[in-house]
Amino acid sequence: MAYQLMVCDLMTDTRLGVLPIGGVTWDDYIGKTGSLSGTIPVPDSATARRIRETALPGRSMLHLYEEDGQLAWSGVLWTRTRQRDARGNYTCAIQAGGLESYFRAHRLLLADLVAAGADQFAIVRQLITYAQAQAGGNLGVEMDPAQMSGVLRDRQYSRHDLPWIGGLVDQLASTQNGFEWRIQVWADSAGVRHRTLRLGYPKLTVGANDGSADLVLSSPGPVGAYALPEDATTMANAWQSRGASTGTDMGSEQVPLMSQVLTAPGDWAAGWPRLDGTSDYSTVETQSVLDEHAAADLARAARPVAVPSVTYTGNQRPPLGSYVRLRLNDTWHYDVLDARYRVIGLKVQPAERPRARTTDLYLEAA
């Protein structure tokens, strides 16, 4: 399947040109930033000029289109490498990150921000709104002001901590009764592209919940390789988190705020050994907030889920947050595995001779 790379201005999304691309791979995730990499062939000086003038790291938006005109991936160009090999062939290697990368690694909170009894979704929008209100910072991310989670939070963010805005959203999302978020670039029926903040409580999901529309992945069938890891290296059934240090007098001991010690004694009764775990939240100064983080961390560590992955060769690409049914009948699964999963990540490698197109799906048990 052939791809075309549309280069646009990051701020306005104005089209600057279209370039061919080879060796392209791209991925997208819920919970972390997706990426794209590939190589642009440079057959002549005219193409070199187009690349040098339009594909500018940190300033250009890239949209990857499939040959049927469907938008496959969008993100910010962060690096380009102009190259010539020993045979005199000219190419330009590129790497790009999803729009979340802009907020996670390139936008700081440079003002104090306070939220009292606010819905956690409203706090997220407050952070993104702050970022877009600063000079040169408006990427046109659309938000639904009416969407709420029903979970109220008190938060105080200090400019002295110099926190990344995306990091604050990630930290808020990972606490007890948290949520999921991503920034989706999509095209409407008229082909107009939108950048939309997607929020989901407690999860971002797509499609019917009854399983009637699930994509079925089976082996024997389109499923090739798969990996179903089981990992206890991060498991814990006792937990304490550490917060900000207190003590303002000169020479006084700096004592960190500590959460309650949380345990899962049912594990010990069932024969599990005690496994301790800890986490640090150096900017958290409120006991209740720190306790919420500790409870969420213990819940994740009590039965850590190593992410299953499945490789299949079909052309259908399930969207993030949708559900698939995995059916395996093989040496490992002589008793047949038939389980439902949510798609939390994907990686696409287009067909290139002699390799067929493959899609790696990263899954979470439904």
Task: Quote the tokens at residue 77.
Answer: 């160009």
Among 1, 167, 6, CA closest to 75: 6
Domain identity same for 131 and 83: no
Domain identity same for 20 and 83: yes
Say if residue 364's pLDDT is above 80.
yes
Q: What is the pLDDT of residue 74?
A: 98
Rounded distance, CA 12 to CA 201, Å?
A: 31
**Distance, C-alpha 68 to centroid of its chain:** 26
Q: Is residue 80 part of a domain?
A: yes
Say if residue 353's pLDDT is above 80.
no
Q: Name the H helices within the chain.
A: 45-54, 100-105, 120-133, 165-173, 265-269, 287-302
Q: Is residue 55 part of a domain?
A: yes
Domain boundary among 278, 302, 326: 302
Among 6, 10, 8, CA closest to 58: 10
Give how many domains the chain has, as a whole number: 4
Say if residue 249's pLDDT is above 60.
no
Task: Quote the tokens at residue 41.
Answer: 């062939």
Q: What is the pLDDT of residue 277?
A: 97
Give 248's pLDDT tier (boundaries 50, 70, 90).
low
Task: Quote the tokens at residue 89.
Answer: 């062939």
Domain boundary among 82, 98, 114: 98
Domain identity same for 313 and 274: no
Burial of 223 by CB count in 10 Å (0-12 exposed, 13-18 middle, 19+ buried)?
buried
Domain identity same for 224 and 242: no
Q: What is the pLDDT of residue 334?
A: 95
pTM of the model: 0.92
Domain identity same for 147 and 70: no
Rounded distance, CA 342 to CA 204, Å?
A: 10
Q: What is the pLDDT of residue 98?
A: 98
The enclosing domain of 178 has a CATH number of 3.55.50
Q: Is residue 73 part of a domain?
A: yes
37-47 mean pLDDT: 97
Burial of 196 by CB count in 10 Å (0-12 exposed, 13-18 middle, 19+ buried)?
middle
Q: Is residue 206 part of a domain?
A: no
Q: What is the pLDDT of residue 317?
A: 86
Q: Is residue 210 part of a domain?
A: no
Q: Out of 38-47, 104-113, 355-364, which region has the weakest mean confidence (pLDDT)?
A: 355-364
Instruction: Output the CA–CA distances (angstroms, integers) from residue 95 to 78, 80, 83, in the order listed.
Output: 6, 7, 14
Give 110's pLDDT tier (boundaries 50, 70, 90).
very high
Domain identity same for 16 and 93: yes
Say if residue 253's pLDDT is above 80.
no
Domain identity same for 107 and 83: no
Give 211's pLDDT tier (boundaries 50, 70, 90).
confident
Q: Is residue 244 part of a domain?
A: yes
Q: What is the pLDDT of residue 60?
A: 98
Q: Is residue 155 part of a domain?
A: yes
Rounded distance, CA 10 to CA 141, Å?
A: 12
287-321 tens-digit pLDDT: 999 999 999 999 999 987 778 999 988 778 899 99
Domain identity same for 219 and 361: yes
The enclosing domain of 88 has a CATH number of 2.40.10
Domain boundary among 68, 98, 128: 98
95 with 154: CB under 8 angstroms? no
Q: What is the mean pLDDT of the chain?
A: 94
Backbone angles phi, psi at 53, to 5 degrees: -90, -20
- Structural domain containing residue 322: 215-229+307-365
Of the chain, the percentage scoring pLDDT greater than 70 comes to 97
Domain identity same for 219 and 316: yes
84-112 mean pLDDT: 98
Q: Is residue 109 part of a domain?
A: yes
Domain identity same for 44 and 165: no
Domain identity same for 170 and 287: no
141-178 tens-digit pLDDT: 999 999 999 999 999 999 999 999 999 999 999 999 99
Of the chain, the percentage scoring pLDDT greater than 90 comes to 86
The enclosing domain of 361 has a CATH number of 2.30.300.10
169-194 mean pLDDT: 97
Domain identity same for 114 and 194: yes
Backbone angles phi, psi at 62, to 5 degrees: -110, 135
Say if residue 46's pLDDT is above 90.
yes
